[in-house]
Amino acid sequence: MAWKQGLAFGFLMAAIAPQYARAQQAPVAPVASSTPVVLTLKRAVELSLSNSKDIQLAKLQVQASQDTAQLTRAEFLPNLYGGSGAGFTYGLPETPGGRPPALFSVTYTEQVLNGPLRGLAKEQQEQVRAQRAVLEDTRNAVMVRVASGYLELVKVRHSLELLRKEKESADKIVDVTKEREGEGYELPVEVTKAQLTLAQVQQRILQLEGRQDELEVYLRNQLGLAADQSMDVTPEELPGAAEQEGANLIAMAAQSNTRLMAAESDVKGKELRLKGEKQGYWPTLQLVTIYDVLAKSNFNNSFLVINERNFRYNNLNAGVSINVPIYSAKTRANVALAQVNLEAAKINLSNTKSQVSAEVRQKSRKVQQADATKEVARLELQLSQQNLAVLQSQFGEGKVNLRDVEKGRLDENEKWMSYLDANFQRQQAQLDLLKTAGQLDKVLE
């Protein structure tokens, strides 16, 4: 019996061993962290700058413009080529380029004097600077969107807390009003009004919960967080550097606005291009060296080879290629086109300066208006809190009923929410103003 038990145990282990091995090799699904990530405004902006796909795309566009500029600049650097080939000749042996067929050839070229080409290279370098300004504008746009989303999420969560308290007060008002209606002290219309207030509060709660979910999904995507990662955010005000005089902001915008920087680079690039095209009236100079190893068999039937003594296997030609323009209609047309492009770039720069200055003034006024709106909302909240304190005192003395107190709480919550909205609108106005003035990175980074 012992040997039968041992044999059965062996078969059992043989059956389960492969399944156990596969289970050991199977990847373990990651477990979502239940601990919420604690975010501050600056931390959220930092994460977004590291994970934004828009910024990554803008960086690739900068790299592409750099590579394009390098292609033109490479013409003024040493270029060495080597190669060989095979083909059939009949009659005079020559390649499509006009050179004799060679077993092996080496070519060296380098532009030395070429005004139009050098002007194009310098213009492309300015285009790289303009593309860097576009990258900076993209970074600013990402910072504004993330900061706005973060601040709105703070506001929405605070508003939800107030609305849930408001719902409790509305529930109490409905109960008290129904009780008073049963006792004959209230009309049915008052019950309907109380129920309508409760329904409106519940509707707003659902709307804000939906908005909260949208903001959380957006921020997780922008910050590179897991899809189910919870977040803790805290109420914050923009740093004090956001407060600036209007005239100071206009001066700062003239130096740091990304649209102005791009327009200025465009003008400078067009000036360099025009200067280079005008140099097209002057000669161009290029270094050229050609080394060929020829095959005698290619010239056996050619009149170029009279006898064996004047044939050379190794052939070297080195020198300069000079082109002197006597009359060039193309150069004249290129100069005219470059002049028109420069004039258009100057007009665009002038318009951009006017627009940026006007935008700074307009957005400065919006910040001032938002400040005034916030102050009104703060005083209304303070007044509502004082009225509630009076009602609570009177309730303790028996002069008012519970419904009056709960209505006071409702009014206080409404004023709180109005204050939160006003504060958020002011923060939005500040972000727009700082972005236009080119000072956003100094505040959020």
Range of the domain at 419: 36-77+114-282+325-444
Q: Indicate the pTM of the whole model.
A: 0.79
Query: Is the domain of 388 the same as that of 330?
Result: yes
Query: Is the domain of 260 the same as that of 301?
Result: no
Query: Is the domain of 165 the same as that of 56?
Result: yes
3-state secondary structure of 278: helix
Q: Which of 135, 382, 381, 151 is nearest to 261 (CA)?
A: 135
Please give the distance of CA 326 from its chain centroid, rounded to a whole number.
51
The 10 Å Cβ neighbour count of residue 388 is: 20
Q: How many residues does the chain have?
A: 445
Taking the C-alpha atoms of residue 414 and residue 182, their distance in angstroms, rounded to an integer, is 29
Query: Is the domain of 372 the same as that of 330?
Result: yes
- Contacts (Cβ under 8 Å, ≥6 apart) of 327: none
CATH classification of the domain holding 46:
1.20.1600.10
Taking the C-alpha atoms of residue 48 and residue 42, their distance in angstroms, rounded to an integer, is 10
Query: Is the domain of 68 the same as that of 84?
Result: no
**What pLDDT sits at residue 22?**
45
Q: Alpha helix locations (H) across 86-187?
A: 115-182
Among residues 269, 303, 324, the one where a domain terminates is 324
Q: b/e string for 392-407 if b means 16 or more Cβ within 10 A?
A: eeebeeeebeebebbb
Question: Is 164 within a domain?
Answer: yes
Query: Is the domain of 414 the same as that of 347?
Result: yes
Please give the distance of CA 375 from its chain centroid, rounded to a whole number.
34
Question: Is 171 within a domain?
Answer: yes
Question: Is 14 within a domain?
Answer: no
Taking the C-alpha atoms of residue 214 and residue 72, their distance in angstroms, rounded to an integer, is 47
DSSP assignment of 228-281 equals T--EEE------GGG---HHHHHHHHHHH-HHHHHHHHHHHHHHHHHHHHHGGG
Q: How many Cα atoms sit within 13 Å of 1 on the Cβ side?
A: 0
List the Cα angle 436/442/445 in 5-degree steps.
115
Question: Is 355 within a domain?
Answer: yes
Question: Is 248 within a domain?
Answer: yes
**What pLDDT sits at residue 218?**
94
Query: Is the domain of 288 the same as that of 197?
Result: no
Q: Structurally, how many domains does the chain consist of?
A: 2
Question: Is 28 within a domain?
Answer: no
**pLDDT mean values, one per 10 residues, the chain (445 residues):** 44 45 41 72 92 93 94 90 75 69 86 91 94 93 94 94 90 88 85 91 94 94 90 81 62 86 94 94 92 74 57 85 89 94 95 92 90 94 92 85 86 92 93 88 78
- The dihedral formed by the CA atoms of 111, 117, 122 and 127, expressed in degrees to the nearest 10: -130
Query: Is the domain of 183 the same as that of 129?
Result: yes
**What pLDDT sits at residue 341?**
95
Taking the C-alpha atoms of residue 113 and residue 109, their distance in angstroms, rounded to an integer, is 13
Query: Is the domain of 203 the same as that of 240?
Result: yes
**What pLDDT sits at residue 137?**
93
Query: Is the domain of 312 the same as that of 347?
Result: no
Taking the C-alpha atoms of residue 317 and residue 301, their distance in angstroms, rounded to an integer, is 24
Query: Is the domain of 198 the same as that of 161?
Result: yes
Question: Is 370 within a domain?
Answer: yes
Among residues 267, 297, 324, the one where a domain terminates is 324
Among residues 324, 353, 383, the one where a domain terminates is 324
Question: Is 23 within a domain?
Answer: no
**What pLDDT sits at residue 294?**
79
The helix-helix angle for 188-223 and 115-182 (nearest 10°) equals 150
Query: Is the domain of 217 the same as that of 334?
Result: yes
